[in-house]
């Protein structure tokens, strides 16, 4: 009789879930990523490229890996994609819809720091891991958000590589001008550039910001010309970067080195400017020439996860109609891989358990290293490279161990470019 009562009691406890292990995940038939990207509007180009990367990585997880392993089985990774039209109200309303209506397990943040910042409180409200690929402003990760995680190098470090390179190749160049777009991301890049420039002993002879959607930089650049800098660092996004470079040429402003954030990494930059782009440098989160691999991961004590660089590029080309990916695609494409691996390690879709797993990851993918500050979510493990347009091609020039070509310095003058000179020793 006593043994019967014990069996009945155990059965009752099992029904109530009291004796179930706390780590046992709820049954899942899929993992769903919510994604409200900038597919139209001001940031449409970067958003479209980013979406290619996400689709390629999801395809690899499902077709090569067989899905995400959670709860003792592999289930498909799906994503729900909406267009936020590059608007904050679009990003916030769609992120809320993704959580409440579509029941997304986690959110891939939209491109740009402003939109990422706008969406972060929504993800926090609903306790959803928020994967930031195109919102690299340090300030986002100074707000105390628990679930926001940065996948890329922070904005404050964007111009560090160019400054180190210029300082190395020409320690006598001392006068620098800083001209950045006045938005969340670019202001942080501006602050980081100024701090690092001063550490290296540069004299900042000119510093200014310009508004979003600027259509004429002539007055600002005329003032800059009078300050006679050796080097210019600046930019914000694609349209203003293109305008900046064109009007420097129009005003016959010649400097030894010019580093521009974001725009330089896009093929459309050279397509729009031609010879005017020769010699311009800029930071990049990823390039074809930086090939991470399982062997490299083993050397540095990282776990490897995901497709090789070549496999991933092939997947993107299949999605993009043969177009090559750039770093916007690469950084966004890392989001599904990193999230999937964290889910597998947590063996759960519970946001707190996945966030804890993300804090412990020391991972390498085709995109490079991933390691975060466990408290803030700020990226600490990913490194950028500096690229330069040389002879119509974008090549890696810094750091030396990653470079495919030496820096071309000083860059050709406006008159030399007009006469057909290229930034190439070949």
Same CATH fold assignment for domains 31-153+288-370 and 157-284+391-418? yes
CA distance 138 to 157: 10
Three-state SS at 281: strand
Q: Is the peptide bond before 399 cis (omega within 30 degrees of 0)?
A: yes
Q: What is the mean pLDDT of residues 113-141?
A: 96
Q: Is the peptide bond before 13 cis (omega within 30 degrees of 0)?
A: no
pLDDT of 105? 98
pLDDT of 12? 42
Q: What is the DSSP letter of 388?
A: E
The phi, psi pair for 259, rounded to 5°, reads -115, 130
Q: What is the mean pLDDT of residues 404-420?
A: 96
CA distance 292 to 313: 13
H-helix or E-strand spanning residue 232: strand 231-235
Is 50 exceeded by the pLDDT of residue 9?
Answer: no
* DSSP β-bridge partners for residue 77: 31
pLDDT of 317? 96
CA distance 215 to 193: 24
**299 contacts: CB under 8 Å, gap ≥ 6:** none
Comparing 134-148, 246-260, 277-291, the range with the smallest average pLDDT is 277-291
pLDDT of 25? 42
The pTM (predicted TM-score) of the whole model is: 0.85
pLDDT confidence band for 16 (50 / 70 / 90): very low
> Counting every residue, how long is the chain?
426
Comparing 24-38, 86-100, 203-217, 246-260, the range with the smallest average pLDDT is 24-38
User: 157-284+391-418 is classed in which CATH architecture?
Assistant: 3-Layer(aba) Sandwich (3.40)
Under CATH, what is the fold of the domain 31-153+288-370?
Rossmann fold (3.40.50)
The token pair that represents 146 in the structure block = 């628990």
H-helix or E-strand spanning residue 144: none
pLDDT of 15? 40
CA distance 157 to 164: 11
pLDDT tens column, 133-183:
999 999 999 999 999 999 999 999 999 999 999 999 999 999 999 999 999
pLDDT of 102? 98
Give the count of beta carbons closer than 10 Å to the beta carbon of residue 106.
Answer: 27
pLDDT tens column, 367-405:
999 999 999 999 999 999 999 999 999 999 999 988 999
pLDDT of 37? 97
pLDDT tens column, 302-358:
999 999 999 999 999 999 999 989 899 999 999 999 999 999 999 999 999 999 999
Three-state SS at 395: strand
CA distance 412 to 58: 43
Is 70 exceeded by the pLDDT of residue 273?
Answer: yes
**149 contacts: CB under 8 Å, gap ≥ 6:** 129, 130, 131, 132, 355, 358, 372, 377
Domain boundaries, given as residue ranges, for the chain: 31-153+288-370, 157-284+391-418
Q: Are 394 and 270 in contact (CB under 8 A)?
A: yes
Closest C-alpha among 143, 142, 89 to residue 121: 143
pLDDT of 277? 98
Is 70 exceeded by the pLDDT of residue 426?
Answer: no
Closest C-alpha among 261, 262, 284 to residue 383: 284
7 vs 175, which has greater pLDDT?
175
The phi, psi pair for 423, rounded to 5°, reads -85, 70
């Amino acid at each position: 009789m006593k043994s019967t009562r014990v069996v009945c009691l155990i059965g009752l406890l099992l029904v109530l879930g009291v004796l179930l292990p706390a780590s046992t995940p709820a049954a899942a038939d899929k993992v769903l990523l919510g994604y409200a990207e900038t597919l139209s509007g001001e940031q449409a180009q970067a958003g479209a490229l980013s979406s290619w990367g996400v689709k390629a990585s999801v395809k690899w997880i499902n077709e090569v890996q067989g899905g995400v392993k959670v709860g003792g089985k592999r289930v498909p990774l799906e994503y729900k994609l909406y267009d936020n039209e590059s608007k904050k109200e679009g990003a916030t309303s769609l992120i809320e819809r993704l959580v409440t209506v579509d029941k997304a397990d986690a959110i891939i943040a939209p491109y740009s720091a402003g939109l990422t910042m706008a969406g972060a409180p929504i993800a926090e409200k609903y306790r959803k891991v928020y994967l930031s690929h195109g919102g690299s402003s340090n300030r986002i990760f100074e707000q105390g958000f628990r679930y926001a995680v940065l996948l890329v190098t922070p904005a404050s470090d964007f111009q560090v590589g160019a400054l180190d390179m210029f300082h190395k190749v020409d320690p006598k160049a001392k006068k620098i001008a800083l001209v950045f777009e006045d938005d969340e991301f670019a202001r942080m890049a501006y602050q980081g550039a100024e701090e690092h420039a001063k550490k290296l002993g540069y004299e900042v002879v000119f510093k200014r910001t310009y508004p979003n959607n600027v259509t004429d930089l002539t007055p600002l650049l005329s003032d800059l010309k009078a300050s006679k800098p050796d080097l210019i660092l600046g930019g914000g996004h694609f349209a203003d970067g293109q305008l900046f470079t064109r009007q420097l040429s129009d005003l016959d402003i010649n400097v030894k080195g010019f580093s521009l954030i974001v725009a330089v990494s896009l093929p459309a930059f050279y397509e729009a400017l031609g010879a005017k782009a020769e010699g311009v440098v800029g930071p990049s989160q990823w390039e074809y020439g930086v090939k991470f691999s399982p062997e490299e991961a083993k050397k540095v004590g990282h776990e490897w996860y995901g497709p090789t660089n070549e496999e991933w590029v092939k997947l993107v080309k299949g999605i993009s109609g043969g177009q090559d990916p750039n770093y916007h695609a690469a950084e966004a494409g890392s989001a599904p891989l990193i999230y999937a691996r964290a889910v597998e390690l947590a063996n759960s879709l519970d946001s707190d358990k996945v966030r804890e797993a993300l804090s412990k990851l020391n991972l390498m993918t085709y995109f490079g290293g991933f390691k975060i500050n466990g408290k803030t979510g700020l990226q600490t493990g990913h490194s950028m490279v500096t690229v330069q347009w040389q002879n119509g091609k974008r090549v890696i020039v810094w750091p030396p161990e990653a470079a495919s070509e030496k820096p071309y310095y000083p860059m050709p003058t406006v008159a030399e470019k007009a006469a057909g000179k290229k930034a190439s020793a070949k």
